[in-house]
Amino acid sequence: MRFDQQVKNHTARLLLNNWVHYEKNIEELRPHDLENAKIFFAGLQKLTQEEQIFLASKYRPARGKRISDKYMAFSKRMPLEAYKQRKVECETALQNAIMKYCEENENIADEVIAAMRYSHEMLAKDRLLRKAVKRYCTENNNRPDKFKYLWK
């Protein structure tokens, strides 16, 4: 895998993967996540209903578990390559809608990028802290209730 090339429709896929999270936790979202949700839903509204339904069937499954492209193609009774091509077309349409929305509201993109950079730094620190607390609790054979989220 080459890391120097950007993934096609990276922003659209990132936001699509967080679709369920945005809907379920809209009240508890951090400011940058809330801004991402606004951008995502604004871009989603610019798509056709058929494109919205197609993306929802892939990224917003009823059971909560992600469904593979192979199974989605089988359930829609279409060849795998045709399904993947259609998915890329819908993601591209969403990516273009998101970019158009960000251009119309120029200051949003810079704020979101800065907030995302900050959140990734904070998450990295949070992961190190969680690992340290888990290691400490494991070494001392205790599981305090306030750290129960570590053992999920």
For the stretch 73-115, pLDDT in tens is 998 899 999 999 999 999 999 988 988 887 787 655 555 555 5
Query: Are 61 and 123 members of one domain?
Result: no
Query: Are 24 and 98 members of one domain?
Result: yes
Q: Does the residue 146 lie in any domain?
A: yes
Query: Are 95 and 123 members of one domain?
Result: no
Q: Which domain holds residue 91?
A: 10-104
Q: What is the CATH number of the domain that holds 71?
A: 1.10.10
pTM for the model stands at 0.65
Check residues 95 and 127 and name the one with the higher pLDDT.
Answer: 95
Query: Are 75 and 142 members of one domain?
Result: no
Count of structural domains within the chain: 2
Q: Does the residue 114 lie in any domain?
A: no
CA within 13 Å, CB half, 22: 19
Query: Are 100 and 136 members of one domain?
Result: no
Query: Are 15 and 56 members of one domain?
Result: yes
Question: Where are the alpha helices (H) located in 1-152, listed in sequence order?
Answer: 10-17, 19-24, 31-45, 49-59, 69-75, 80-104, 106-139
Q: Does the residue 111 lie in any domain?
A: no
- Output b/e per residue, 55-82; b: 16+ Cβ within 10 A: beebbeeeeeeeeeeeebbeeeeeeeee
Q: Does the residue 112 lie in any domain?
A: no
- Using an 8 Å Cβ cutoff, are 98 and 22 in contact? no
Three-state SS for 77? coil
Average per-residue pLDDT for the chain: 77
